[in-house]
Chains A and B, each alone.
Chain A
């Protein structure tokens, strides 16, 4: 499978616990994005990496959220002290390097659904 891979697909946790999601982008894609999607809404941008550098963070990304991409390949999104409002689908997407693509398309994974009880 050469698509964007995310795991776990589902996570149920109790309020106050920490959770971590992993994203493996398409191998030649150096740009990686995290989005959050709540019920009935479109995806909202959280953060963006180019290689290992985190170049942009949304104001939606509170201090409890941290994302890393240490080697410029896979990425992790950690949520500390989860709250019920964090319940959502967390989507990862990737894009090839600039100059190698012609559509601007984001390739999405199937998402990691978080339920905070």
Chain B
């Protein structure tokens, strides 16, 4: 199974905030990422955070990083129907040639 763990499903009402959680394993990961995948499509980078940061905000997206607990979260403010997708958390393990280790993904369903 994955070393990066995520909850599998989240249902949220349009206009509410979504929070997607992730735990990762490698405390030496330099960057941590959130990717979005829509049905039948590839992965699109949403945002990333450098490991020496605690928080990063990018428009409707807020990333929180707790290095002590190896916990990463993504908050989407004012969730829209277009935000319905699968969201993947990913880390960059050390000595990994830059490859990413992904979680299984959290399916977010936005209801009107």
Contacts and interface: CB of A to CB of B under 8 A. Distances in A.
Interface residues of A, number: 25
B88 A104 contact: no
Interface in A10-44: 31, 33, 40-44
B104 A41 contact: yes
A67 interface: no
Contact of B97 (A41, A48, A109): A48
A27 to B, nearest CB: 18
Interface in A69-94: 91, 93
A42 B97 contact: no
Given A31-B98, A42-B4, A43-B102, A109 B42 contact: yes
Contacts of B58: none
Contacts of A48: 97-99
B33 A105 contact: yes
Interface stretch (B12-20, B43-51, B69-77): B43-51
A43 B34 CA distance: 13
A105 B33 CA distance: 8
A95 B33 CA distance: 15
A52 interface: no
* Size class of the contact patch on chain B: 20 to 34
A91 B43 CA distance: 9
B105 A41 contact: yes
Interface string B71-110: 0000000000000000010101000011111111100000
A104 B98 contact: yes
Contact of A43 (B41, B43, B45, B98): B43
Contacts of A104: 30-31, 33, 48, 92, 98
A103 B33 CA distance: 9
B48 A42 contact: no
A8 B92 CA distance: 29
Interface of B: 2, 4, 30-31, 33, 35, 40-45, 48, 88, 90, 92, 97-105
Interface of A: 4, 31, 33, 40-45, 48, 50, 55-56, 91, 93, 95, 103-111
